[in-house]
Amino acid sequence: MSAMKPVLLASVVAALCLATVARAQDVFVAFGERYRLTAVNSMFSFAPEGPAAAGKPARVLTHDEQLARCDSIVALALDKLGPGPGGVRFIRDRVEARPADRTWVIYAQRHQGYRIIGAGGRVELDALGRILFAGLTYESGKLRDFEPMASAKLERLAAAALPRPRAGPPLSHELMIDPRPLRGNGGQGTMPAELRAIFVYELASKDNLPTEGWQVILNSETGKVVDSFSLTMRATPR
């Protein structure tokens, strides 16, 4: 599939001129199709009320038209839900080819450009580009603006938390928002949202053993190590 730029769904886009909202609270109509909308807390899903394959469309949409339609319908569902003062927006993140000629259009919720952990979802399309199902989870609370340390300083702090020398530079590094980090030491409840710096390294081999993946998570504003653990050990079945 062709490369694409993320599309910011700050509001219902121009294609909403082709979509109308039904009065029933759990149904909306878009592009001539009725969709059943189900919402539970900060999660929602929708799917066509009738079988998506009931009839072949008069014209198979182009790839770009399919993506634009997904963006419009996701925006319409959010607009119908009215999820609150947090200014919920989804960004189209990527497209994945799936078995049986299905396609997943993956969305992420972002703030300041940073992905929010646990927020996002997907829209599933069939071979003709018809929407079969969509499921998304969002963070509705208002988030403050974060001020992370410089990347180089965060990388030094993360490298210092490794249990043994690394085999090279980080394999990956991303800043992500944890909207409800849990209190440590067995405490109850959650703490205010944090912007986490997540590093993945490959550790140098030891005692003729294979190299090991290791993840270090920092509070990006304070540099405090939140967690540090072996990806290899966590992935090994017990």
Pick from 39-48, 83-92, 182-191, 211-220: least confident: 182-191
As a dihedral over the C-alpha atoms of residue 205, residue 207, residue 208, residue 213, rounded to 10 degrees, the angle is: -30
> 3-state SS of 92-137?
EEEEEEECCCEEEEEEEEEECCEEEEEEEEEEEECCCCCEEEEEEE
Check pLDDT > 90 for residue 128: no
Reference 47, options 34, 60, 32; nearest CA is: 34
Q: How far apart are CA 21 and CA 29, in angstroms?
A: 6
Q: Is 76 left (phi over 0), alpha (psi -120 to 50) or beta?
A: alpha
Which range of 183-187, 201-205, 208-212 scores highest in mean pLDDT? It is: 201-205
Check pLDDT > 90 for residue 222: yes
pLDDT digits (tens, 9 = 90+) for 165-184: 898 999 999 999 999 887 66
> Strand, coil or helix: what is 216?
strand
Reference 179, options 105, 78, 110, 106; nearest CA is: 110
Q: Is 61 left (phi over 0), alpha (psi -120 to 50) or beta?
A: beta
User: Considering the entire predicted model, what is its pTM?
Assistant: 0.78
pLDDT digits (tens, 9 = 90+) for 6-37: 444 433 333 333 343 333 358 888 888 889 99
**What is the C-alpha radius of gyration for the chain, rounded to an integer number of angstroms?**
21
> What's the distance, CA 189 to chain centroid?
24
The full length of the chain comes to: 238
> Strand, coil or helix: what is 14?
helix
Q: How far apart are CA 4 and CA 9, in angstroms?
A: 15
pLDDT digits (tens, 9 = 90+) for 99-111: 999 999 999 999 9
- Residue 21: predicted pLDDT: 38
Backbone angles phi, psi at 151, to 5 degrees: -60, -40
The pLDDT mean for the chain works out to 82
